[in-house]
Amino acid sequence: MKYAEFRERSSFDHEELMAFAHGRLIEDAPDTFGARLPLPPMLMLDRITTIESKGARGRIVAERDVRLDDWFFQCHFLGDPVQPGCLGVDGIWQLLGFFCAWSGGPGTGRALGCGEVEFEGQIRPHDTCVRTEIDVRRFTVLEKQGASMVIGDAVLFVDDVPIYTVKHARVGTFQGITYSDYPNLSANARGGRMER
């Protein structure tokens, strides 16, 4: 699809999210566009049902189908399978990064942190659907730095029951940080502290 159409869409199906993760969804992306979603098994969403913005605020809702054979149920824990809570938080960061790209943020996304995280339930192999609802509190494009940042509050539901609450989750996009020639040793082959 064209970049203008991508920016106007209010939902994305699984095939489109996979194309985005592979860098093939947008055929005329700007040179500054480098956003990706992680590929499975780290991709923590199957579809985005709602994405919208009004000024610096917005909303994003996504779903992921629970599968009996999900990779994390095989190892976390033997005899007591449960989805790691950190994967739910990572799904929130994935969605916020997608929101940055959809909103016109340049560069590649990175999680920057979150304020409060509360777990009040769990996701088990025979649950059906995980839904994540995020209220975007602020989205900003930092023109001079060629970056953007989004802050949101999220609630994660399993089969319509709220089980996680995350406050002030933050994601930024940055230019010049991709490591596209992996596994070669090159300029971005090593991590460490990033400038904000």
Upper half-sphere CA count for residue 68 (Cβ side, 13 Å): 1
Alpha carbon distance 189, 182 (integer Å): 7
Cβ neighbours, 10 Å, residue 57: 13
Active site residue 76: yes
Whether residue 104 contacts residue 174, with contact meaning beta carbons closer than 8 Å, is answered with no
Given 22, 76, 126, 168, the catalytic residue: 76
Sign of CA dihedral 188, 99, 123, 71: negative
Q: Which residues are catalytic?
A: 76
